[in-house]
Each structure stands twice: as C-alpha cells, then as structure tokens.
Structure 1
Amino acid sequence: MALRTESASSAELVIVNAQVLTMDRSCPLSDALAVRAGRVLALGRDDVAAVTGTGTTVVDARGGAVTPGINDAHLHFTGAAMADFGYVDVGPDAAPGWERVGGLLERAAPGADGWIRARGWDDVVIGPAAGQILDVRPETPVVAFDSTGHQLVANREALRRAGLAHAVPDPAGGVLGRDAHGDLSGLFQDAAMELLNRSLPPVPAAALRDAMRAMQRRLHSQGITSLTEPGLGPASAGLLDGSGSPEAIRALGDLAEAGELTLRTTVLMLFAGTGGADSAAIADGLASGLGNAFTDRGIDARLLRMAGVKVFADGIPRSGTAWMAEPYGDHCTRGSLVIAGATEEDRLEELRRILALIDGAGLQAGIHATGDAATEAAVDALASRTRARKNRHYIIHGAFSRPDTLARMAQHGIGYSTNPLIRHGAGEAMRRLLGEERFTRHQPLRSAASAGVRFTLASDAPVASTDWRQTVVAAVRRTTRTTPGAPDDPERIGGLEALAAMTADAAWQDRMEHAKGRLVPGMAADLCVLSSPWPDDGRIEDLLGIDVVLTIAGGATVHEGAPR
C-alpha cells in the first residue's frame, strides 16, 4: 500500500526491495521507504520512486526487513559501558568457576586509581559468592560486581579502605554476607552495595566518555537507536557499580554538545538508592535543579532529556528482598518494601508521598517493583494521582503482576517494562525459589496485552545482553537456559508484538510516540535494515542468525555492516 508523500522534494536516501515493518496499524507493511531531513518522507514503491532524484542514495534491501530503530526501554548505558569496556570480565564464559575468577583477579592490572574492578560473576552458574575473593590480592583493593547488578564481592583490602568491620549492621533493604563468626565475608547485596561503592574513587571522566562511545557503537551495530538510562544521579552508589553518578550526566551532556551522541537517550534521575528511600531525598533532588541539566545546556530534548525519577520499591527474589504476597525461598521470607518506615503502613504511606512528589512535578516515575505485593502497592499509590495518565508512570520488572493489578494498570494508563532475557537466564533459580506455579506466571506478557497494558521489553543491560533479537526470541518462546518453553504457555506473545514493544510502545513510554517508533511519513528516520525477512513465530529462532546490515538514526548512517 502506498501512502502520500510528505513533500515533493527529492529524498536523500531511499530503501527499496524491502519488507518495511512500519509498526503502524493503518499501514503495517510496505516495500520501500524514503528519507529526507532526518524524517521518513514516503512509503511504497510508487511514492518512493516519485521522490528519488539523481542525488538520492539508493539502498537495495534485497528482501530484508526494515524496522523502526530499536528502543531499549531499560538499558543502564553507563553501567553497561563500564562493564564491557572498563572492567575485568569475570563472567561465566571467561571464568566458569570461582577459582578462575580468583586467577583473573590475581593477574589483573590495577587501574590508575589503584583499584581492580571486575564484573560478571553469576552465583547461579558458579556457586555461592560469600568469601570467595576475600583473600585475593592482599595489598590491592578489589571489587567484583555480579551479572544482576544487585550483588558485589570485595577483598579484605577493599573492606579496610571502606572502613567496614564485622560490627556493621545490615542496612535497610540490603544484606551483608557473614561467616560463621559473624565477620564480613565480602558479599554485599542490594542496598548494602552502597557501603562499598561509596568508597570507590570516581571513574575518570575521559574513561567514562571513551566507554560510552564504545558502547554506542555496539548498540548501533545491533540496530538500537534509542534507550532509557534508568537511574543516574546522586544515589548512584546504591545501583550496579556506582558509575551512574552526576559525572555520567555531565559526560552524556558533553557528548551531545560535541555532536558525538547519536543515541536518543531518556534519563531517569536517581535520588534514593535500593534501600530506605524517603520523600525528603526525593524533594531535595527535585529542588536541586538536576532535572534541567540538559535543557540548561541547550541540548535538543529529542536527543537527550531528563524524563523522570526512578524509585526502588523492593529488591529481587534471589536476595530475598522482593516483596511478595506469599512466602518464598529457602528462608521462607516475603521480603518487604525497601522504603523508609518502621512499619508496613509507614512504608506504604512514604511510597505514596514519594510518588505524589514526582507526579506533582510533572515527571515520570519508573518504579522498580519485582514482587506482586510491591507492584500492587505501587499501582495503588499511582492510581490515586490525577495526573498519572498524563505523566505515564510505569512499573519496572513487575514480574509477578496479578490479573487484577494489570487491569488497574490499564485503567490508569500505567505502563509496564520487563525483561524476558533475564527470565531466560535466571529462570531455573526463580523456579526453585518460587515454585512451579508462581514461575509459570512470571512476566505475564499475554495477560498484560489482554488487559490493555502498554508494555515494553528491555534488556536491563548489563544484567542481560543488549542483543534485542535474543529478547524477542525469549518473549516468544519463554525458555530458560536448561528447559524449552511450553508450546501452550499462556503468557507467550508473538514476534511482531515483541518488536512493537521495542519500538512503537517504547516510544509511548518515552512520551515520544508522535516523533519516533513508527516508520510513516513525518516520523524520525530511525531504522535498521536486516539481512533477511522477519521470520514467522514458528521459526523465530532464525532471527538470531539475521544480521543488522544498516542502522539509521535521525536520517544519518550510524552503522553499516559488511556487504552480504
């Protein structure tokens, strides 16, 4: 189906012989596309031919799919950049056991600040972490972050420099590993990570920018043109490796001002960490002026913008800090809200105050709520806000959302962002902790779609791979590392639904659906060209072998693969 062109002027670029997946319901499929001045100019063979001039660059897609640029709606850009381009790799591929982790750390060269930083271990794969690197490199401080971003291990010298001793109590929302004598084993979980991260020297600005540039190149090579950076600010010590500091905000602004930032980046500010968040910290953060960090520098909001505030309502099941309605795990815990307050009702009231402040400021709240009780509490708090639908608050993870909670989310325009690839990677651990019945309902995507909830699929990198093709397959198949997905799994979705969740629906979460996420005339020319047509759901695994041959951001080529 051909659509009317936006302009009679000649196109700068046209793509022909293509399977254009527009993600627009009025015209879902086309065979050609034209671009001018950073926007889609025309669709359809005839209209594209009419705007093709002598100076137009013509790309023959050879039948390959053309999709909107992928929008990863929850990607820790700074943390992922440092994890992949700044730290020692101790992931399962590089270090399939703790002995190998120790060997890599023994041989690693300290950074300019004298510290060794590593990242990637996974206790589900290589076993319990407590005490495993305590005696590595006695004269050098060592810290190793895990693959989930919710745990780290440190050696004795790092503990000494952080001023930590066996008498340190567990902080609210966090867990400190201890040996049989009560001494610290070097393991820090959730909010406890902040105790160690606060002692780390800041990442040098030049190193941070170099890592960001390298990560941007990788993301563009995968067809990614937009992302949400979920948590930069003064409370960064409580999240991942602590690199998402105000310095990271300055680094992003520097790249944008220099014309080097080509990823459309939406930022959530972080004013309170993974334990003990309170309304005073949020109020102080909102009054600090951080929300104007980019507009004060004259940076185009379509490229880089502060959209809202991230709030941690609970933790994760693996550390027993997810708040569930029923007990779970080896210790038969329910977890709790990780919000300040002496009682459950105090914490609920403080959560309501926090979300009222964010909503009243006209900002978006991205609420980390993993357990069903935490999700329900966050939705209840948001449902009472009159501006909630306009501000498009959303639940992050929401892995155990119940049908009645999903219905209320749809009713009040509350979004949902979750991570199928994490389910794939950590599935067996979740099955053991939660039991088969609860695990079967983990990440209820079909139920969310049926309820009318707008949802996005995201990587949560560096927790999982940024390769969106793996995310799509995980959403369609619902496999784990060791078990295939059930063919009759009621929470499966289709491949094109998954693609919409990473393009058009992600643009909706960004409040940018008027400008990006669909390939129709007038929309941003953010797109990627694949080497083959989009596969049917019955062979969705074929997507993993399909290459991204061209990525366009704002009409400019930001990645061009090798000729096929």
Structure 2
Amino acid sequence: MPKRPVAVAEADLAIVNAQVLTMDRGRGSNRIPADAVAVGGGRILAVGSRDVAALTGPRTRRIDARGGAVLPGINDAHLHLVGASMAAFGYLDVSAPIAPGWDAVARRLEGAEPGEDGWVRARGWDDVLIGPAAGQILDVRPDTPVVAFDSTGHQLVANREALRRAGLAASTPDPAGGVIVRGEGGEPTGLFQDAAMEIVNRALPPVPAATLRKAVLAMQRRLHTQGITSLTEPGLGPASAGLLDGSGSVEAIRLLGDLAVSGELMLRVAVLMLFAGTGGADSAAIGAGLASRLRHAYTDRGIAPERLRIAGVKVFADGIPRSGTAWMAEPYGDHCTRGSLVIAGATEQDRVEELRHILRLVDRAGLQAGIHATGDAATEAAADALAAATDPGRRHYIIHGAFSTPETTLARMAQHGIGYSTNPLIRHGAGDAMRRLLGEERFARHQPLRTAATAGVPFTLASDAPVASTDWRETIVAAVRRGTRTSPGIPGDPEGISGLEALAAMTADAAWQDHAEQFKGTIAPGMAADLCVLAGQWPDDDRIEELLETDVALTIADGVPAREHAPR
C-alpha cells in the first residue's frame, strides 16, 4: 500500500484543470479518473478536484495544466547515466547528422582539440549509416591518441597512436567475448568489438572527477526537462572498461554518492554493479565483487535508498547481433554464426553451468540480477537458470531479450517472477539492419511485447541511452507502432501494445522492477511527488505520433518544479 500522506492543512502546490493519468501496473489503466493533484512535503496529498480544493489555501501555489496530461515521473529502467552524460557533454560528437560519412568523421577528429590528458575522444558513429569502420581512422593524427566510440556502446575505433599506447600488436589475441578486427595480414585495423574494447579503454587516462561531475549534473538537467525523475544505471564498477566508454568506474559510484550527500542528486537512481565485463564473466569475479564493500557504498554513507541505492548486479550473457556475438539458436548474419555465451567455460554446457552459478551467487547475496541477453539462445538459457535456481522475490530480469519460442519462454518467466526490460527505440533505429541479419521471421517476433503482456510478464521499456535517445516519447511511439527507420510498421502488428501500456512500462512497472512500487510510479495519496506535466492531452493510439509534438511543460521532483532546484 502507498505510504500515508503527512497530515497537513494546506498543500504546497496544486495542479488543476488536468488530465491526471494515475496509472496502474501492467495495462496502464486509470484507477481514479481525476483532474487535479495536490502536493506537500515531497508527497502527493490528494487526487481529484474535490480533495485538492480542500487542501488549497492562500499559500498554495496553483498551476493550471490547461487540460494537459499529468503523469507519474518517467522512470527509465535502463539508462547509462554516467556514459550518457559523457557522450552528451564530454566527447566530440561524430554522429551521422554531424558527420555523415567517414571522411567527415576524420575531418572532425583532425580538427578537435585534445583534452587535458592529450587524448581526442569522440562518440556516436554508426556503421549501419556510414559504412564499415575497420581501418577508417587508423592514420588520423599520427602524433595524438584518438578513440571514437560507436552509437551502440559495443564498438570503438582507434588510431595507431592509441593502439601503441594500449600495447597492441598483431600477436595480441582476441579476448573472450570480444573481437579485434584485423586486416588480411592479421594487423589490427583499429576496430574493437565487445570485450576487446577493454584493451583500449584501460589505456585511457581516467576521466577527471570535475569533468564527470559537471557532465552528470548537465544530464540531470536534461532528463528533468524531459520529465524523467527516476532511472536504473545498468553497470558501474570495477569492470567498467569493458562497457561503453569505460567511464562507469568505481569512482563514478562514489561521485553519485557525493551528489546524493550534498543534495545535488535529484534523480532517483538504482545502480547495477559491474564485476565482469562483456566477455569471460566467471563466478570468481562475481563472488569477489559481492564480497567487497562496494554493495554498501551508499548505506555506509546514510543515503536514503529512495534517492540512490545499489540494486543488484549486471551480468553479460552474450554480445549483440551486429558484432556476431549474440548467442542464437540458429545461424544468422553475413558469417552464418550462432555466437555463444560470453561466460567463462570451455564448452557450451560449461558456460551455461557457470552462468547458473553466477546467478545463484547474486541471488544468495540478496541482490537483483539484470542479465544482458540479445540472442534467443542466451535469453532462454538465462531464463532457465533463473527459474531453476533463484528466488522470485528478487525480481531478476532479462535485459533486451530475444525469443525463438516466445509463448513458452515468456510463460515460464511469468511463472517464476522473471522480468523483461527492452528497448523499442533501438529496435526502431537498428531494425533494418536487424531484419537483414536475422531474417524477416525472427525480426517479426523481436521484442514480443504483446505476448509478454498476455503471459503476465512484468516488463519495462527503456532507452539504453546513450545507445538511443533519452526522449521517452519516442520509445512510447516505437512500442506502439513497431516501425523502423524505413518502415512505419505493420498496422495491427500482433506484438504492438497500447500507448498507456507503454507508459505503464515506464512508470508503474519500472517502479516494480526497482522494488519501489510502494512510493513511486503511480499518482495516489502518499506516493512520491514526482510528476511529469504535458502541454497537451495524452493522444489515442491511432494518433500516438502526436505525443512527439506534445512538450513536457513541467517536471516536479520531490514536490518541487525541477527548474527551481538550486544549482550547486
């Protein structure tokens, strides 16, 4: 049940003339048709014009929504806060709108001012849009180390000086779960995929604390302007060099704690720790991480768990289809590979057993496992492992997910309380490439949201930023329409869901994933006063694209308009 509101005679703030979407878990229905909300002491005090009027006094601040929708604060259940912060505010942008080809990427890198550490760092290229990356920047700026991360977070390119500083040679072997892309003579081309990224990331000097702090606070402001008040940061810790740009380090965990202690952190953040990267995860590394003090990083500092907490552990079961490192039941892609688990082990069965051991360790530690699995074989192995050896009360979940037998696998996940977190906007952006790699039949059942809803699987929708935009409105539309860059989607797609179901997956259901449904995710007396106010009404599903033109008029975090939170 929601917490009881503090007894007050007068609200701090009242939103009136609104379309209040109170939200429920699952189907996204409105429990209470309402047109007003009262807030006080950081909590929702009343819902509905009659009850709100009774708490409105001379000191109550009155906000006229002018018929606009009021939603629970958006909860992005998979947003790399630190990585997205650096991508947006710390690195040179070489995304396709700015650098539409590799020649343009090279020109931007040539003209960039190196950082204080002497490196040029860039981010955002997409080989689907601008072509193969191997060798493209190898000879750029021979006297300056250069690294450029791609848009997926699973590839980077580097120049010769960066390779020299990383100690790379033709004899350097590919790490487990990663690929050093090579030329015909075996020489590295500068392209690194998945776990191989760690070779270059470990050679990078650490991001200065002041730079990281500034970027995170800038991203917090951006998220608040978009109506986002909560998120899951899916992977900070000692193995950060194998993920994205490597900035999600133990120091980043400490930084978030510092911001919470100082009162500057106004997002609600749940953190998954990363003890093993995108290749070769084993139970020894996970066990050592669980035995460390890292899981107590915030409780040791007296930080309220409603603000910031360690939620669990991120585990990479496989890579991604684009790199050929997703583990699929049937061959796929240009090289007709099946991929494999990126878990330690000599054989497929060894790797499956090691994955089970890892998940048992996380479960017994009382923590939640978020399992990255993009291939159908990896997804089903992870679901089987969770069903066999873990406590449903932990709310472990599959991240991304693909299914060869969605009805069977999702029914088993529902039976064992296993969640599912996926990214419709990535499906939209990479869909044309995915269709080519996987074939029409497998792509059609990719992200089977309707089947998941019917089976009763608790699922969330998320951006995976910086891989995709943090604009949650785009995610909602992508979940309803299921289109790609070149296709608007099939009318009546059997795996499409409604706009309100998608909204529930980014509010009430995301709160469930966080073990936080008692204080956030819905609009009811006693719940946290985290709200997103739109400039217009919520559109019907046949007009869902209108959501993209409906601005976020106001975000309220902890009962206060976000724009009024004092900068530090």
- The answer, yes or no, to whether TM exceeds 0.5 is yes
Per-residue CA shift, 1:170-209, capped at 9, x if unaligned?
A: 1111111111111000000001101111110000000000
Q: After the TM superposition, which residues 63-462 of structure 1 pair with which residues of structure 2 at under 5 Å, given as runs?
A: 63-387=67-391, 389-400=392-403, 402-462=406-466
Question: What is the alpha-carbon distance in structure 2 between the residues aligned to residue 27 and residue 340 of structure 1?
Answer: 48
Residue 5 of structure 1 and its aligned partner are, at CA, apart by: 8.1
Letter of the structure 2 residue corresponding to residue 283 of structure 1: G
The answer to which structure, 1 or 2, has the higher relative contact order (CA under 8 A, 6+ apart) is 2
Kept in 1: contact 2:314–2:370 (CA 8 A) = yes
Question: What is the alpha-carbon distance in structure 2 between the residues aligned to residue 6 and residue 500 of structure 1?
Answer: 26
Letter of the structure 1 residue corresponding to residue 287 of structure 2: A
Question: What is the alpha-carbon distance in structure 1 between the residues aligned to residue 256 and residue 536 of structure 2?
Answer: 34
Per-residue CA shift, 1:473-522, capped at 9, x if unaligned?
A: 00000110011100021000000000000000000000000110000001
TM-score relative to the length of structure 1: 0.97
Change (3 A) 1:179 1:386: closer
- Give the alignment's Cα RMSD to 1 decimal: 1.2
Q: Identity, % of aligned pairs?
A: 76
Kept in 1: contact 2:481–2:496 (CA 8 A) = yes
Which residue of 515, 520, 541 corresponds with 2:519? 515
Change (3 A) 1:429 1:26: closer
Per-residue CA shift, 1:98-138, capped at 9, x if unaligned?
A: 00000000000000000000000000000000000000000
Report the secondary structure of 2:399's partner residue. strand
Question: What is the alpha-carbon distance in structure 2 between the residues aligned to residue 461 and residue 29 of structure 1?
Answer: 33
Residue 385 of structure 1 and its aligned partner are, at CA, apart by: 2.6
Aligned to 1:550: 554
Report the secondary structure of 1:30's partner residue. coil
Question: What is the alpha-carbon distance in structure 2 between the residues aligned to residue 465 and residue 8 of structure 1?
Answer: 40
Kept in 2: contact 1:6–1:521 (CA 8 A) = no
Residue 556 of structure 1 and its aligned partner are, at CA, apart by: 1.5
Letter of the structure 1 residue corresponding to residue 487 of structure 2: T
Per-residue CA shift, 1:513-541, capped at 9, x if unaligned?
A: 01100000010011010000000000100
Residue 26 of structure 1 and its aligned partner are, at CA, apart by: 6.8
Per-residue CA shift, 1:238-297, capped at 9, x if unaligned?
A: 000000000101111111111100000000000000000000000000011100001111
Residue 554 of structure 1 and its aligned partner are, at CA, apart by: 1.2
Question: What is the alpha-carbon distance in structure 2 between the residues aligned to residue 525 and residue 15 of structure 1?
Answer: 12
Question: What is the alpha-carbon distance in structure 2 between the residues aligned to residue 376 and residue 482 of structure 1?
Answer: 30
What runs of 5+ residues in structure 1 fail to find an aligned partner?
A: none
Question: What is the alpha-carbon distance in structure 2 between the residues aligned to residue 399 and residue 381 of structure 1?
Answer: 16
Residue 224 of structure 1 and its aligned partner are, at CA, apart by: 0.1
Report the secondary structure of 1:384's partner residue. helix
Aligned to 2:15: 15
Kept in 1: contact 2:233–2:272 (CA 8 A) = yes
Residue 399 of structure 1 and its aligned partner are, at CA, apart by: 3.0
Kept in 1: contact 2:5–2:43 (CA 8 A) = no
Residue 461 of structure 1 and its aligned partner are, at CA, apart by: 0.2
Residue 335 of structure 1 and its aligned partner are, at CA, apart by: 0.6
Letter of the structure 1 residue corresponding to residue 533 of structure 2: V
Per-residue CA shift, 1:311-338, capped at 9, x if unaligned?
A: 0000110000101111100111111100
Report the secondary structure of 2:369's partner residue. strand
Question: What is the alpha-carbon distance in structure 2 between the residues aligned to residue 5 and residue 193 of structure 1?
Answer: 49
TM-score relative to the length of structure 2: 0.97
Question: What is the alpha-carbon distance in structure 2 between the residues aligned to residue 445 and residue 173 of structure 1?
Answer: 29
Letter of the structure 2 residue corresponding to residue 143 of structure 1: V
Change (3 A) 1:272 1:55: same
Kept in 1: contact 2:181–2:189 (CA 8 A) = yes
Kept in 2: contact 1:5–1:43 (CA 8 A) = no
Kept in 2: contact 1:370–1:400 (CA 8 A) = no
Kept in 2: contact 1:236–1:273 (CA 8 A) = yes
Question: What is the alpha-carbon distance in structure 2 between the residues aligned to residue 546 and residue 539 of structure 1?
Answer: 12
Kept in 1: contact 2:23–2:30 (CA 8 A) = no
What runs of 5+ residues in structure 2 fail to find an aligned partner?
A: none
Question: What is the alpha-carbon distance in structure 2 between the residues aligned to residue 174 and residue 293 of structure 1?
Answer: 30
Question: What is the alpha-carbon distance in structure 2 between the residues aligned to residue 150 and residue 260 of structure 1?
Answer: 31
Question: What is the alpha-carbon distance in structure 1 between the residues aligned to residue 56 and residue 402 of structure 2?
Answer: 48
Letter of the structure 2 residue corresponding to residue 395 of structure 1: I
Kept in 1: contact 2:21–2:30 (CA 8 A) = no
Report the secondary structure of 1:347's partner residue. helix
Report the secondary structure of 2:563's partner residue. strand
Kept in 2: contact 1:67–1:529 (CA 8 A) = yes
Kept in 2: contact 1:86–1:211 (CA 8 A) = yes
Question: What is the alpha-carbon distance in structure 1 between the residues aligned to residue 550 and residue 58 of structure 2?
Answer: 32
Question: What is the alpha-carbon distance in structure 2 between the residues aligned to residue 529 and residue 264 of structure 1?
Answer: 18
Report the secondary structure of 1:559's partner residue. helix
Question: What is the alpha-carbon distance in structure 2 between the residues aligned to residue 321 and residue 217 of structure 1?
Answer: 36
Letter of the structure 2 residue corresponding to residue 393 of structure 1: H
Question: What is the alpha-carbon distance in structure 2 between the residues aligned to residue 29 and residue 315 of structure 1?
Answer: 44
Report the secondary structure of 1:29's partner residue. coil
Letter of the structure 2 residue corresponding to residue 80 of structure 1: A
Question: What is the alpha-carbon distance in structure 1 between the residues aligned to residue 295 and residue 185 of structure 2?
Answer: 46
Question: What is the alpha-carbon distance in structure 2 between the residues aligned to residue 88 and residue 123 of structure 1?
Answer: 17
Judge which range, 417-426 or 169-178, deviates more: 169-178
Change (3 A) 1:5 1:378: closer
Kept in 1: contact 2:243–2:277 (CA 8 A) = yes
Per-residue CA shift, 1:395-447, capped at 9, x if unaligned?
A: 00013362211011000000000000000000000000000011000100000
Question: What is the alpha-carbon distance in structure 2 between the residues aligned to residue 523 and residue 282 of structure 1?
Answer: 35
Question: What is the alpha-carbon distance in structure 2 between the residues aligned to residue 163 and residue 274 of structure 1?
Answer: 20
Residue 342 of structure 1 and its aligned partner are, at CA, apart by: 0.2
Report the secondary structure of 2:210's partner residue. helix
Per-residue CA shift, 1:429-468, capped at 9, x if unaligned?
A: 0000000011000100000000000000000000000000
